[in-house]
Structure 1
Amino acid sequence: MKATVAGTVIAEAPQEDLIKIEGNWYFPPESVVTSLLEESPTPYTCPWKGPCQYFTVNVDGKSLPDRAWTYRNLYDGAVQRVGQDFTNYVAFWKEVQVSE
Protein backbone atom coordinates (compact mmCIF):
# COMPACT_ATOMS: atom_id res chain seq x y z
CA MET A 1 0.00 0.00 0.00
CA LYS A 2 1.07 3.59 -0.56
CA ALA A 3 0.46 6.94 1.10
CA THR A 4 0.80 9.73 -1.45
CA VAL A 5 0.35 13.49 -1.78
CA ALA A 6 0.01 14.84 -5.32
CA GLY A 7 1.79 11.78 -6.71
CA THR A 8 4.68 11.84 -4.22
CA VAL A 9 4.98 8.61 -2.20
CA ILE A 10 5.48 9.35 1.49
CA ALA A 11 5.06 5.76 2.74
CA GLU A 12 4.94 2.36 1.09
CA ALA A 13 4.67 -1.16 2.47
CA PRO A 14 2.83 -4.43 1.79
CA GLN A 15 -0.67 -4.38 3.27
CA GLU A 16 0.20 -7.26 5.60
CA ASP A 17 2.79 -5.01 7.27
CA LEU A 18 0.24 -2.28 8.01
CA ILE A 19 -2.14 -2.15 10.96
CA LYS A 20 -5.70 -0.85 10.62
CA ILE A 21 -6.98 1.00 13.68
CA GLU A 22 -10.28 2.86 13.80
CA GLY A 23 -10.43 3.06 9.99
CA ASN A 24 -6.87 4.37 9.56
CA TRP A 25 -3.95 2.45 8.06
CA TYR A 26 -0.80 2.69 10.17
CA PHE A 27 2.46 2.24 8.24
CA PRO A 28 5.55 0.68 9.83
CA PRO A 29 8.12 3.38 10.69
CA GLU A 30 10.75 2.05 8.28
CA SER A 31 8.30 2.44 5.36
CA VAL A 32 7.83 6.20 5.86
CA VAL A 33 9.88 8.90 4.11
CA THR A 34 10.64 10.79 7.32
CA SER A 35 12.40 13.61 5.46
CA LEU A 36 8.93 14.73 4.30
CA LEU A 37 7.59 14.95 7.86
CA GLU A 38 8.17 17.69 10.41
CA GLU A 39 7.06 17.38 14.03
CA SER A 40 4.03 19.52 14.80
CA PRO A 41 3.41 21.26 18.13
CA THR A 42 -0.28 20.23 18.08
CA PRO A 43 -1.09 18.43 21.34
CA TYR A 44 -3.39 15.43 21.55
CA THR A 45 -3.72 12.43 23.83
CA CYS A 46 -5.93 9.52 22.87
CA PRO A 47 -7.78 8.17 25.92
CA TRP A 48 -6.71 4.59 25.17
CA LYS A 49 -3.61 4.86 22.91
CA GLY A 50 -1.72 7.62 24.73
CA PRO A 51 0.07 10.84 23.73
CA CYS A 52 0.12 11.48 20.00
CA GLN A 53 2.84 13.15 17.94
CA TYR A 54 1.45 14.95 14.90
CA PHE A 55 3.51 15.81 11.82
CA THR A 56 3.29 18.40 9.07
CA VAL A 57 3.68 16.73 5.68
CA ASN A 58 5.92 18.78 3.36
CA VAL A 59 5.65 17.94 -0.36
CA ASP A 60 6.50 20.08 -3.39
CA GLY A 61 6.57 23.32 -1.41
CA LYS A 62 3.23 22.60 0.29
CA SER A 63 2.97 22.22 4.05
CA LEU A 64 0.03 20.16 5.24
CA PRO A 65 -0.19 20.51 9.04
CA ASP A 66 -1.14 17.56 11.20
CA ARG A 67 -1.75 15.18 8.29
CA ALA A 68 0.33 12.39 9.87
CA TRP A 69 0.64 11.07 13.41
CA THR A 70 2.23 8.40 15.54
CA TYR A 71 2.14 7.07 19.09
CA ARG A 72 5.59 6.72 20.64
CA ASN A 73 4.57 5.77 24.18
CA LEU A 74 1.47 3.62 24.20
CA TYR A 75 -0.72 3.32 27.25
CA ASP A 76 -0.94 -0.03 29.00
CA GLY A 77 -3.56 -2.13 27.24
CA ALA A 78 -3.30 -0.41 23.82
CA VAL A 79 -1.31 -3.24 22.21
CA GLN A 80 -3.68 -5.82 23.65
CA ARG A 81 -6.70 -3.89 22.36
CA VAL A 82 -5.31 -3.80 18.80
CA GLY A 83 -3.62 -7.20 18.92
CA GLN A 84 -0.29 -5.84 17.62
CA ASP A 85 2.33 -3.40 18.78
CA PHE A 86 1.88 -0.20 16.75
CA THR A 87 4.49 1.92 18.55
CA ASN A 88 5.96 4.47 16.07
CA TYR A 89 3.68 3.35 13.22
CA VAL A 90 2.46 6.35 11.19
CA ALA A 91 -1.07 7.10 9.97
CA PHE A 92 -2.23 9.78 7.53
CA TRP A 93 -5.41 11.68 6.64
CA LYS A 94 -7.08 14.37 4.51
CA GLU A 95 -4.91 15.23 1.47
CA VAL A 96 -2.76 12.15 1.99
CA GLN A 97 -4.25 9.36 -0.10
CA VAL A 98 -3.77 5.79 1.08
CA SER A 99 -4.29 3.19 -1.64
CA GLU A 100 -3.21 -0.27 -2.79
Structure 2
Amino acid sequence: MKAVWNDVVLAESDDVITLEGNVYFPMDSLNKEYFEESKSTSLCIWKGKANYFSVNVNGEPNKNCAWYYPKPSFLAKKIKNRVAFWQDVQIIK
Protein backbone atom coordinates (compact mmCIF):
# COMPACT_ATOMS: atom_id res chain seq x y z
CA MET A 1 0.00 0.00 0.00
CA LYS A 2 0.99 3.62 -0.49
CA ALA A 3 0.21 6.90 1.21
CA VAL A 4 0.26 9.63 -1.46
CA TRP A 5 -0.14 13.39 -1.27
CA ASN A 6 0.47 15.91 -4.09
CA ASP A 7 1.52 13.02 -6.37
CA VAL A 8 4.37 12.06 -4.02
CA VAL A 9 4.61 8.75 -2.15
CA LEU A 10 4.91 9.55 1.56
CA ALA A 11 5.00 5.91 2.70
CA GLU A 12 4.90 2.50 1.02
CA SER A 13 4.65 -0.97 2.56
CA ASP A 14 2.85 -4.29 2.33
CA ASP A 15 3.16 -4.58 6.12
CA VAL A 16 0.27 -2.36 7.20
CA ILE A 17 -2.25 -2.64 10.02
CA THR A 18 -5.79 -1.32 9.74
CA LEU A 19 -7.35 -0.11 12.97
CA GLU A 20 -10.61 1.84 13.23
CA GLY A 21 -10.55 2.40 9.47
CA ASN A 22 -7.05 3.91 9.51
CA VAL A 23 -4.11 2.28 7.77
CA TYR A 24 -0.93 2.32 9.87
CA PHE A 25 2.38 2.12 7.98
CA PRO A 26 5.67 1.08 9.60
CA MET A 27 7.70 4.12 10.66
CA ASP A 28 10.64 2.92 8.54
CA SER A 29 8.46 2.99 5.39
CA LEU A 30 8.21 6.80 5.47
CA ASN A 31 10.01 8.93 2.90
CA LYS A 32 11.41 11.02 5.72
CA GLU A 33 12.60 13.95 3.61
CA TYR A 34 8.96 15.15 3.48
CA PHE A 35 8.20 14.85 7.22
CA GLU A 36 8.63 17.27 10.08
CA GLU A 37 7.75 16.59 13.71
CA SER A 38 4.82 18.69 14.90
CA LYS A 39 4.23 20.00 18.43
CA SER A 40 0.58 18.91 18.22
CA THR A 41 -0.71 16.00 20.26
CA SER A 42 -4.08 14.41 20.97
CA LEU A 43 -5.37 11.85 23.40
CA CYS A 44 -7.35 8.70 22.68
CA ILE A 45 -8.89 7.06 25.71
CA TRP A 46 -7.92 3.55 24.66
CA LYS A 47 -4.82 4.08 22.46
CA GLY A 48 -3.01 6.81 24.40
CA LYS A 49 -1.27 10.04 23.40
CA ALA A 50 -0.74 10.65 19.67
CA ASN A 51 2.01 12.80 18.20
CA TYR A 52 1.82 14.33 14.73
CA PHE A 53 3.93 14.94 11.65
CA SER A 54 3.42 17.67 9.09
CA VAL A 55 4.63 17.15 5.54
CA ASN A 56 5.92 19.50 2.90
CA VAL A 57 5.85 18.43 -0.74
CA ASN A 58 7.18 20.76 -3.42
CA GLY A 59 6.70 23.77 -1.16
CA GLU A 60 3.13 22.86 -0.17
CA PRO A 61 2.60 22.06 3.52
CA ASN A 62 0.02 19.66 4.94
CA LYS A 63 0.02 20.36 8.67
CA ASN A 64 -0.52 17.49 11.11
CA CYS A 65 -1.56 15.08 8.36
CA ALA A 66 0.08 12.04 9.96
CA TRP A 67 -0.02 10.69 13.49
CA TYR A 68 1.55 7.97 15.58
CA TYR A 69 1.50 6.67 19.13
CA PRO A 70 5.06 6.59 20.55
CA LYS A 71 3.87 4.77 23.69
CA PRO A 72 0.51 3.20 22.85
CA SER A 73 -1.54 1.50 25.53
CA PHE A 74 -1.33 -2.26 25.96
CA LEU A 75 -4.56 -2.62 23.94
CA ALA A 76 -3.04 -0.73 21.00
CA LYS A 77 0.50 -2.09 21.15
CA LYS A 78 0.28 -3.44 17.58
CA ILE A 79 0.43 0.12 16.19
CA LYS A 80 3.63 1.09 18.01
CA ASN A 81 6.18 2.53 15.56
CA ARG A 82 3.46 2.97 12.94
CA VAL A 83 2.02 6.05 11.24
CA ALA A 84 -1.48 6.76 9.91
CA PHE A 85 -2.63 9.58 7.62
CA TRP A 86 -5.56 11.90 6.97
CA GLN A 87 -6.22 15.39 5.48
CA ASP A 88 -6.31 14.49 1.80
CA VAL A 89 -3.51 11.92 1.95
CA GLN A 90 -4.67 9.09 -0.31
CA ILE A 91 -4.19 5.47 0.70
CA ILE A 92 -3.73 3.38 -2.43
CA LYS A 93 -3.72 -0.41 -2.56
Shorter-chain TM-score tier: over 0.9
The answer to whether the 8 Å contact 2:37/2:53 transfers is yes
Q: How many residues align?
A: 93
Residue 48 of structure 1, CA deviation:
0.8
**Alpha-carbon separation, structure 1, partners of 2:76 and 2:13:** 23
Aligned to 2:61: 63
Aligned to 1:30: 28
Question: Is 2:41 the partner of 1:48?
Answer: no
**Deviates further, 33-42 or 66-75:** 33-42
TM-score, structure 2 normalization: 0.93
**Alpha-carbon separation, structure 2, partners of 1:76 and 1:3:** 26
**Alpha-carbon separation, structure 2, partners of 1:48 and 1:75:** 7
Residue 77 of structure 1, CA deviation:
2.5
Residue 63 of structure 1, CA deviation:
0.8
Aligned to 1:99: 92
The answer to whether the 8 Å contact 2:62/2:87 transfers is no
The answer to whether the 8 Å contact 2:48/2:71 transfers is yes
Residue 86 of structure 1, CA deviation:
1.4
Segments of structure 1 that go 5 or more residues without pairing to the other structure are 80-84
TM-score, structure 1 normalization: 0.87
Over the aligned positions, Cα root-mean-square deviation in angstroms equals 1.1
Q: Which structure is higher in strand share? A: 2
Residue 98 of structure 1, CA deviation:
0.6
Residue 35 of structure 1, CA deviation:
2.0
Residue 70 of structure 1, CA deviation:
0.5
Segments of structure 2 that go 5 or more residues without pairing to the other structure are none
Corresponding letter in the other structure for 1:25: V
